[in-house]
Amino acid sequence: MILLRTLDDLPERFRRGAVSIGNFDGVHRGHARLADALRAEAGVVKGPAVVLTFDPHPASVLRPDRTPPSLSWPERKAELLGQLGVDAVVAYPTDRELLALDPETFFERIVLDRLAARAVVEGPNFFFGRDRLGNLDLLAELCRASGVLLKVARPAEIDGAMVSSSRARRLVAEGRIEQVNRMLTQPYRVRGMVVRGEGRGRRLGYPTANLDRIDTLVPGEGIYAGRAWADGRVWPAAVSIGPNVTFGENIPKVEAYLLGYEGTLYDRLVEVDFLARVRDIERFGSADALVAQMGRDVRIVQEIAGPRGMGPA
């Protein structure tokens, strides 16, 4: 799978195929249905399966104060779409010039000229062009006039409601990780730079990696079972999100204890998958009581996430 950042001089092997356009944030099961239909249409036209997405999110250009928090970054999005069989992902640079194109011009310049698409695959809630004026009816009309195949994929549903990125965001923000993971194609993941903290975890026997500069939505406060990537291996991780109220702190932090890891991770980027929520953040009467609870948390994490230092990533 190839991640591209521009449509200028697009390699010929990614032209004249099937194209799906959208944000694909989080790459959920609805996106998986799109990818299935995209691969099928690519086979019909005997071309590549290409996803055109946008970086940054268009709302960050038009309405920066109302931009939804991201569920995935471009490289992660491309990785997940590649696992679904997509040949290339274009993370197209979003600017006001692009967003000012009317639907007809967008279709002509992007879909026909740049991508030379022979098929387009979208979901039922697709809009495109300036002010989202283009809808499926207009897209169907433009495709017919241009001899381009159009396939509309059925949405995915879980518990009687449509799977969507906005629904996934609500679940992540509420800390309902098990529910959101049912909607996603892979467990919810964040990444952050490891920075120096108070060093309290090491003194308590549970050294943690303090993650900063996280560029996606952070789950709601709580203790989680997860997996972390470090030194080319996957490590079970107990993850704390929130302030350390036992020691009088009120500033929320993201701290991950990698079970069995003995190195240092300062100034390194670490990725963490969230598998399950273990408990709420609690205030304990003493450091000993906190350490005892941390021991119980670690045993639960081992049951959920596997043994220490599980092997190659």
Cα 20 from Cα 54, distance rounded (Å): 12
Under a CB-based contact definition with an 8 Å cutoff, are residues 188 and 219 in contact?
Answer: yes
User: What's the confidence (pLDDT) of residue 5?
Assistant: 96
Under a CB-based contact definition with an 8 Å cutoff, are residues 118 and 45 in contact?
Answer: yes
Q: What is the pLDDT of residues 10-33, one digit of tens each?
A: 999 999 999 999 999 999 999 999
Encoded amino acid at 29, one letter: R
Helix locations, 199-265, DSSP H: 200-204
Residue 313 pLDDT grade (very low, low, confident, very high; cuts 50, 70, 90): low
Cα 220 from Cα 217, distance rounded (Å): 9
CA distance to 166, 203, 244, 303, per residue, from 53 (Å): 17, 45, 39, 38
Architecture of domain 187-312: Beta Barrel (2.40)
Return the CATH fold of 2-161: Rossmann fold (3.40.50)
Under a CB-based contact definition with an 8 Å cutoff, are residues 182 and 276 in contact?
Answer: no
Cα 11 from Cα 7, distance rounded (Å): 9
Under a CB-based contact definition with an 8 Å cutoff, are residues 156 and 32 in contact?
Answer: yes
Q: What is the pLDDT of residues 162-215, one digit of tens each?
A: 999 999 999 999 999 999 999 999 999 999 999 998 878 888 989 999 999 999
| Least confident among 46-55, 56-65, 71-80, 82-91 | 56-65
Contacts of 279 (CB under 8 A, 6+ apart): 222, 223, 297
More confident residue, 127 or 1: 127
Under a CB-based contact definition with an 8 Å cutoff, are residues 28 and 180 in contact?
Answer: no
Residue 74 pLDDT > 60: yes
User: What's the confidence (pLDDT) of residue 249?
Assistant: 87
User: What residues form DSSP beta bridges with 49?
Assistant: 18
| Least confident among 8-22, 146-160, 297-311 | 297-311
Q: What is the pLDDT of residues 221-269, one digit of tens each?
A: 999 999 999 999 999 999 999 999 998 888 999 999 999 999 899 999 9
The enclosing H or E element of 302 equals helix 287-305
Burial label, 12 (beta-carbon count in 10 A; 0-12, 13-18, 19+): exposed
User: What's the confidence (pLDDT) of residue 310?
Assistant: 54
Helix locations, 70-198, DSSP H: 74-83, 96-99, 103-106, 136-146, 165-173, 177-183
Q: What is the pLDDT of residues 111-151, one digit of tens each?
A: 999 999 999 999 999 999 999 999 999 999 999 999 999 99
Entry field: residues in the chain: 313
Map out the domains of the chain as residue ranges: 2-161, 187-312
Q: How many CA atoms lie within 13 A of 151 on its CB side?
A: 24
Encoded amino acid at 214, one letter: I
Under a CB-based contact definition with an 8 Å cutoff, are residues 20 and 150 in contact?
Answer: no
Same fold yes or no, 2-161 and 187-312: no
Contacts of 127 (CB under 8 A, 6+ apart): 133, 134, 135
Residue 312 pLDDT > 60: no
Cα 63 from Cα 43, distance rounded (Å): 38
Residue 311 pLDDT > 60: no
